[in-house]
Amino acid sequence: MQRASVFTLLSTSFLLSVDAAAQDPQGPPAPPACAYATQGASLPTGACFTDCEPSLNLNCPEMVIIPSGTFQMGDPFEPFGQPLHQVTITHRFAVGRYAVTFDQWQSCLDDIGAGDGNHCTQPINDKGWGRGMRPVIAVDPLQVKAYVQWLSKKTGKPYRLLSEAEREYVTRAGFDANGNCFESTLRYWFGNTITTDPTKQNGANFAGDNALGMTVPVYWYRPNCFGLYQVHGNVGEYVQDLFHYTYDNAPTDGSAWGGEYWPRIPLLVRGGSWASPASLLASFSRSVIGSGPATTPYSGVGFRVARDIVPSP
């Protein structure tokens, strides 16, 4: 079966917004919010929580505890997805239930009392699409780094971006016939076909037929088996790795490859966006921003956070 290329330079047609805001159709209601947990490490796999104490009065990411596991990373039909290799993640970790939202970004932006410059300083243009629980867009990578550092300071937890391997691992979390989680080796966690219809089981926000032409709230569309929303489409998400053309000598433990040097051009993006073709939403698809300085923002790109789960002593 012929497959679309897994490596695509994200051109302006995929990343830059249109000026005219499309009409926002009525979507599903947001699910109940996750509660604050004093000891996230003691929660069971699959639990949803937030690390921000209510007294902080901050809108912080809701996190989901992801199990350890082994999966096959890459795609055997494309040179940029080779070699297909086994990755074993030996520890549980927590991943944002959603991409970081405008409301969450605003909490960082408003926290000018941080006093040390370790907070967000970039006001974000929502293109007239709306803010709230839409994913924050057009954040330059250095500001993404500032947000992660700010969140770590506020919570006392080691927040970071996902590695490329972690991002593919959580994207492949499909349901088996009994409703249990398993590693989907299909194009998407739900199968090989995809639609823009939010009422369908295989729905996602991308540049397909009847596309909306803008972002939608982060809770639209069905979550995957790990409880993560929009691992396909809406906004592409930065990962911590530096770009490498192939997976030759790639880490097999799920760690970020050269992540200590992030952000450095070219930047890796996973998941595809509202402006991407279906091929860029595939679980194995790799996209790269290959031009411009590391401070360049793109309206098709946002980010999702992660942190390790350290057992209590």
Residue type, 39: Q
| Higher local confidence (pLDDT), 13 or 82 | 82
Closest CA to 297 of 127, 158, 178, 162: 127
| Higher local confidence (pLDDT), 292 or 74 | 74
Residue 67 has pLDDT above 80, yes or no: yes
Q: By CB neighbour count within 10 A (0-12 exposed, 13-18 middle, 19+ buried), where does 77 fall?
A: middle
Asked if the structure places residue 155 within a domain, the reply is yes
pLDDT digit string, tens, across residues 146-190: 999 999 999 999 999 999 999 999 999 999 999 999 999 999 999
Q: How far apart are CA 50 and CA 64, in angstroms?
A: 9
Kindly report whether the peptide bond that precedes residue 83 is cis, defined as omega within 30 degrees of 0.
Answer: yes
Asked if the structure places residue 23 within a domain, the reply is yes
pLDDT digit string, tens, across residues 195-231: 999 889 999 999 999 899 999 999 999 999 999 999 9
Residue 313 has pLDDT above 50, yes or no: no
Asked if the structure places residue 2 within a domain, the reply is no
The residue-averaged pLDDT of 54-82 equals 92
Q: Residue 7 — pLDDT band, cuts 50, 70, 90?
A: very low
Residue 231 belongs to domain with CATH number: 3.90.1580.10
Asked if the structure places residue 313 within a domain, the reply is no
Q: How far apart are CA 133 and CA 289, in angstroms?
A: 25
CB 189 within 8 Å of CB 202: no
Split into its structural domains, the chain has a count of 1
Asked if the structure places residue 104 within a domain, the reply is yes
Asked if the structure places residue 261 within a domain, the reply is yes
What does the pLDDT read at residue 83?
93
pTM of the model: 0.90
* Residue 308 main-chain phi, psi, to 5 deg: -75, 150
Residue 102 has pLDDT above 90, yes or no: yes
Q: How far lies 62's CA from each of 20, 230, 304, in Å?
A: 31, 14, 10
Range of the domain at 116: 7-308
What does the pLDDT read at residue 251?
96
What does the pLDDT read at residue 20?
34
Asked if the structure places residue 1 within a domain, the reply is no
Asked if the structure places residue 105 within a domain, the reply is yes
Residue type, 168: E
Q: How far apart are CA 298 and CA 138, in angstroms?
A: 4
